[in-house]
Amino acid sequence: MKFKATMLAFALAAMALVATPVMADEVFDAPVAARQADESGMQTAIFAGGCFWGIEGIFSHTRGVQSAVSGYHGGTAQTARYSLVSAGRTDHAEAVRVVYDPSIVRYDQLLQILFSVGADPTLLNRQGPDRGRHYRTAIVPLNAEQRAVATSYLAQMSRSGVWSDPIVVAIENPIRFYEAEEYHQDFMHKNPNQAYIVRWDAPKVAALREKFPNLWRAAFRTG
C-alpha cells in the first residue's frame, strides 16, 4: 500500500510538471533605443542568436516583418550545410535574414526584441542548451544606418544595468547569406510539438506576445 501511495505521488508530481508552462530562460527588459533608425522602404537585416529556429519564430510573429528565413552567415558556399555547420566545422553562424517594413517596425525595435526575448547578449558562443561558435550572437548591419544604430544600441545596453555580465555581441561585416535547407524553414510553424521547440523556443514567442503586445502578430508569417 505504501509503495502504491509513493508511485501515485510521483505520478501526480509528473503530471503537475507537464501541466506547468515552461518559461523562457532569456527574457530581459532590453532598453528602448535612444537612437532610432531612420529608414524608409522595405529593409533587410541579418541577426544571429543561437539556434535559428527560435529567432526565426520570434520574428515571424513580429508585426511589420514580411519574411524571416533561416540560414548561415560568415562562411563559404562550400561549407553552408547543416551537417558541417552544426558540427562546428565552419565559420558560419546560424542566422536569420529578416525583411521588414520600417513604417511598422524599425531596426532598433528589432534589436530590442532580439535582446529581450531572443538571445542573452552576455553568453559567448552559446544559447540555451547549444554550444559552439556557430551559435554565437551577432548583428550583421547591411548599411551605414543599421551599423550606426547597432553600435549605439550595444553601447546603450552596456550602460543600461539590465545585464550584470559584459555584453559580448559582435557586429560582423556582411558576407553572403546562405539559406538553410528547406526542412529548417518555418520549423516552429511546421513542428509545434517538437521537444526542442516546446522547451526552448515556444516560451520565447510567448514572451514576445507578453512584452511587445503592439508588435505581436498572432499568425506565423511563413516564407
What tens-digit pLDDT sequence spans the chain (223 residues)? 433 343 333 333 333 333 444 566 779 999 999 999 999 999 999 999 999 999 999 999 999 999 999 999 999 999 999 999 999 999 999 999 999 999 999 999 999 999 999 999 999 999 999 999 999 999 999 999 999 999 999 999 999 999 999 999 999 999 999 999 999 999 999 999 999 999 999 999 999 999 999 999 999 999 9
Please indicate, yes or no, whether the overall pTM of this predicted structure exceeds 0.95: no
What single letter denotes the amino acid at residue 3? F
Domain contains 201? yes
Residues annotated catalytic, as ranges: 51
Domain contains 90? yes
Separation CA 154–CA 164 (nearest Å): 14
Domain contains 169? yes
Q: How far is CA 203 from CA 30, 87, 94, 118, 138, in A?
A: 17, 26, 20, 10, 21
Say which CATH number the domain at 155 has.
3.30.1060.10
DSSP calls for 149-189? HHHHHHHHHHHHSS-SSPP--EE-----EEEPPGGGTTHHH
Residues, the chain: 223
**Residue 203 — φ and ψ, nearest 5°?**
-65, -30
Residue 49's domain spans which residues?
39-211
Cell numbers 524599425 correspond to what residue? 106
Domain contains 27? no
Domain contains 14? no
Domain contains 24? no
